[in-house]
Amino acid sequence: MRIKAAVAVEKGKLEMQELELGTPQLGEVLVKVEACGVCHTDTSTLNLEVPSPLPMVLGHEAVGIVEELGPGVRSLKKGDHVILSFPSCGCCENCLSGKPYACETSSELFFNGIYPAGGTRIKNDAGQDVGSLFGQGGFADHCIVSERNAVKVDPEVDLKPLCSLACGAQTGAGAVLNLMKPRPGDSIVVFGCGAVGISAIMAAKIAGCGTVIGVDAVPSRLELALECGATHVINGKECPDIPAEVARLTGGKGARFALESSGAAVLVKPMLMSLGKEGRAVVVSFVGGDVDMNLTMLFVGSCRSLEGTVEGAANPQTFIPRLVQFYKEGKFPVDKLVTYYPFAEIDKAFAESHSGKAIKPILVF
């Protein structure tokens, strides 16, 4: 079938094109896309910060309705409402252990444009294969995904505001609820109050954290962080000593947990120094640059630890329905992060994401 899609054609260049979408293969479904979120990772891919073969249809936070089933699909039927999350092979040791976020082939499946069952599903009019980011390519009116990417959700919920549950919100909330697992009253400092960071702040509130500190440089984002559960905020560009301020806000102890979701290499060391004894830091951002650290000084005496994660260590098939339930109960108000754009205004959506004006741009089809 003919589709209209936003294609990364060369480094930094996104083009609206008509393309030919094939048919769903073994275990795959065709989805009519209703909306798709713009995540920072779309920009990183467009700028080839992660080396990816082009041309490729970007977009990996789509929501929509299942229109056609490929052979062997058992978990979905036509008409199901789905949130399209990240791909995984389903047969490696980590997938079989319930850890699809650590799939042995995730780098290829996320960034090479191919599907777990092999190959691409799109051709352009020059006859070239066109990849689909995250085995999805959600910046298109229709896309094909493996049933493992597609999470069926309650048809009564309006899916449009929930695009970020596919990636950004899942990552922030998952880093807190799946990895840190704070106890009620624990303290946390979140560096970067974008979609990922604010979702982490909402999750910290759900978990009953006591002191929740948001760090950003954009005043409107700091205000939103306070509205979404932060007890304190710090303007990272104005504060001369962030660790000292975190220490002050945590009764001199330093934070129990820290999340890095700003992507700013300059914030990594202050983040680690904001942790108290046995403090635990999680990095989710693609940190732009190397960080010079004295490991002995930062980790040994303080018993601190640092770890990275993909997609908040979530199994989307079980974690996303929980987040939808929190949303329905008013505890996970991701709709507060959203700015809508018609699909044709994708360039504006990207620009307003970069400028900080839009936290979670959502393209509507």
Ligand X SMILES: NC(=O)c1ccc[n+]([C@@H]2O[C@H](COP(=O)([O-])OP(=O)(O)OC[C@H]3O[C@@H](n4cnc5c(N)ncnc54)[C@H](O)[C@@H]3O)[C@@H](O)[C@H]2O)c1
* Min separation Cβ 136 and ligand X, Å: 14
Amino acid at 258: A
Q: Which residues contact 63 (CB under 8 A, 6 or more apart)?
A: 33, 34, 35, 36, 81, 82, 83, 84, 159, 160, 162, 163, 166
Q: Give the 3-state secondary structure of residue 291.
A: coil
Asked whether position 103 contacts Zn ion by CB under 5 A, the answer is: yes
* Min separation Cβ 168 and Zn ion, Å: 5
Asked whether position 41 contacts Zn ion by CB under 5 A, the answer is: yes
Tokens for 354, please give them.
């970069």
Q: CB burial class (10 A; 0-12, 13-18, 19+) of residue 160?
A: middle
* Min separation Cβ 74 and ligand X, Å: 27
* Min separation Cβ 277 and ligand X, Å: 25
**Which does residue 103 touch among Zn ion, ligand X, none (CB within 5 to 8 A, set by kind)?**
Zn ion
Which position's Cβ is nearest ligand X? 194
Taking the C-alpha atoms of residue 350 and residue 361, their distance in angstroms, rounded to an integer, is 8
Report CA-CA distances (Å) from 350 to 27, 143, 347, 353, 354: 32, 21, 5, 5, 6
**Which does residue 263 touch among ligand X, Zn ion, none (CB within 5 to 8 A, set by kind)?**
ligand X
CB 222 within 8 A of CB 214: yes
**Which does residue 66 touch among Zn ion, ligand X, none (CB within 5 to 8 A, set by kind)?**
none
- Which CB atom, from 41 or from 231, has the smaller least distance to ligand X? 41
Which of 89, 193, 207, 230 contacts Zn ion by CB under 5 A?
89
**Which does residue 62 touch among ligand X, Zn ion, none (CB within 5 to 8 A, set by kind)?**
none
**Cβ neighbours, 10 Å, residue 186:** 18
Taking the C-alpha atoms of residue 48 and residue 206, their distance in angstroms, rounded to an integer, is 36
Sites of contact with ligand X (CB under 6 A): 39-41, 44, 167-168, 171, 192-197, 215-218, 221, 236-237, 261-264, 266-267, 284-286, 309-311, 356, 359
Binding mask of the shown chain, residues 164 to 183, with x at each position contacting Zn ion by CB under 5 A: ---x----------------
Q: What is the DSSP letter of 78?
A: T
CB 11 within 8 A of CB 48: yes
Asked whether position 114 contacts Zn ion by CB under 5 A, the answer is: no
- Which CB atom, from 69 or from 334, has the smaller least distance to ligand X? 334
- Which CB atom, from 57 or from 359, has the smaller least distance to ligand X? 359
Report CA-CA distances (Å) from 186 to 70, 250, 258: 47, 10, 11
* Min separation Cβ 304 and Zn ion, Å: 27
**Which does residue 92 touch among ligand X, Zn ion, none (CB within 5 to 8 A, set by kind)?**
Zn ion
Number of residues that bind Zn ion (CB under 5 A): 8
